[in-house]
Amino acid sequence: MNNLNKKVKDTITKPHKKISLKASLSLAASALLGTSAVTAPVSHAKPADEWQFDSAFLVYSEVDRVSATEAIIAGTKTFANDEVLNLKLTVDVLTGASANGAIAQPMAQTFTRPSGNGQYVTPAGETPLDDTFKDTRVQVNGQWAQPLSDNLTGSVGGHLSKEYDYLSLGANGNLAYDFNRNNSTISMGLSYFQDTFTPEGGIPKPLSSMLIGDSSSPDWDTEFAKTRIGDSDDKSTADILVGFTQVINRRMITAFNYSYSMVDGYLTDPFKVISVLNFDGIAQDHIYENRPDSRVKQSTFMQTKYHFDESLLNSVADVSYRYMWDDWGITSHTIDTRFTLPVGAASYIEPHIRYYQQSAADFFQPYVIGEQAKTAFVSADYRIGEMTAVTVGAKYGVVLNGGNELSFRIEYYRQMPTDAGFVDPNGLNGLDIYPVVEAVIAQVSYSF
């Protein structure tokens, strides 16, 4: 550590060698690791050149709903024996309103906040949104990759993510085998996450009615507690990913993945309710949703990248398709396309279009009618309902003097939930049961 201090001091005292942000971060990263980097003397020539940093600041903002601000910084260092270390810090802040699952009604509706402290009123004709949504998340990731033999590369990684009401710990391991003159690669990875959810107000009793009334009354807390079954619950996720990458020719590379994911534990969203309607479509009650405690997801993924020649301005096309299916009855198709177009010698523009379509989970219902309510599993969360979503955007990047890259990205994301064939009662005529969600994504990135 003295050595480290000395080097920092040397750097600062030398008049013509300004300590750059990169050098500071390199030092910080190395100090954290208690290792090297300092061996590439900061005070001489190029300061700790081997650390490469990527940073980004992103704002995700939905119209009238949630806003998220996210900052990322990732450092990558390549060691002498082709070992690669990647460390990443992510911080995000979420504020705004989130759909609570209930549907719009011809009259105003009152809901109790998830904490049980106080109520909020949704005006007639509007989709009920819980506006108390606020969270800050800090995430740390580390990944170490190294060659194990001539053709075999191994990597291991760890993940920690903490929110006010959520803790997630994860680990992963991967092996990649290159063959056919390094033109083909087979890889396999395993990952495991253990999450603990401690929601504000505790875990609601599935299918129980949301208590609505005077939260300052003396027996409120006792009554509210009757709708709760605990303070926290767990979820585990185990993923297996098998991949195959193939260089086709000098201009083209393809990848195929298959993944199998098992999620077990508390998969219900404790903040979501579902409207219980009478036959006229008027809400009589709001019950807490209930999802199965396991889910098996599988997906196939295919990607191709193609480098065009001068006739198409040396542009690069990136096209991928994912098909996902699970045992909740959800299937989805995702097509993602990017086109990187060089502009001049040092900049590029990259249009992006993403199309997503999913079918509804078997237990998804936008609302329940009468006694139908007491089915085992039910959720009105539009995110597991039938939906089409489109993202359209573009990125502009420029390589600055010294090879650092600055880029800007702006995208428009539109979710269009659709009716999966439910016949609405007359009382819902003219109400928007499947409201469109629109968001803008703006991002600035800097690599140095």
Partner 1 sequence: MKPLNVLLNKLSFTKSLQLHRPKFKLTLLAVVIANLSACSNLGVEPWERDLLAKKEMALTSSPIDAALDDHIYFSKEASSGGKSFGGGGCGCN
Q: At closest approach, how far in Å is the CB of 349 from partner 1?
A: 12
Pick out residues in 307-326 that bind partner 1 (CB under 8 A).
307, 316, 318, 320, 322, 324, 326
Q: Which two tokens stand for residue 113?
A: 């906040």
Residue 69 is a binding residue for partner 1 (CB under 8 A)? no
From candidates 235, 288, 291, 435, binder to partner 1 by CB under 8 A: 235
Q: Which two tokens stand for residue 358?
A: 């999913």
Stretch that binds partner 1, among 130-138, 221-229, 284-292, 416-424 (CB under 8 A): 130-138
From candidates 23, 42, 395, 417, binder to partner 1 by CB under 8 A: 395
Contact 162, 148 (CB under 8 A): no
Bridge pairing between strands 273-277 and 368-369: parallel
Residue with smaller CB distance to partner 1, 120 or 193: 193
Residue 153 is a binding residue for partner 1 (CB under 8 A)? no
Pick out residues in 39-58 that bind partner 1 (CB under 8 A).
54-56, 58
Stretch that binds partner 1, among 19-27, 38-46, 203-211, 300-308 (CB under 8 A): 300-308
Residue 251 is a binding residue for partner 1 (CB under 8 A)? yes
Residue 120 is a binding residue for partner 1 (CB under 8 A)? no
Q: At closest approach, how far in Å is the CB of 261 from partner 1?
A: 5
Stretch that binds partner 1, among 188-196, 200-208, 210-218, 277-285 (CB under 8 A): 188-196
| HSE-CB for 239 with a 13 A CA cutoff | 21
Residue 137 is a binding residue for partner 1 (CB under 8 A)? yes
Residue 145 is a binding residue for partner 1 (CB under 8 A)? no
Contact 115, 174 (CB under 8 A): no
CA distances from 225 to 116, 200, 287 (A): 9, 13, 15
Pick out residues in 328-357 that bind partner 1 (CB under 8 A).
330, 332, 334, 340, 348, 356
CA distances from 162 to 75, 135, 159, 279 (A): 20, 10, 10, 44
The single-letter code of the amino acid at 216 is S
Q: At closest approach, how far in Å is the CB of 228 from partner 1?
A: 17
Pick out residues in 252-291 that bind partner 1 (CB under 8 A).
253, 255, 257, 259, 261, 263, 269, 271
| HSE-CB for 266 with a 13 A CA cutoff | 21
From candidates 85, 210, 361, 378, binder to partner 1 by CB under 8 A: 361
From candidates 28, 156, 248, 346, binder to partner 1 by CB under 8 A: 248
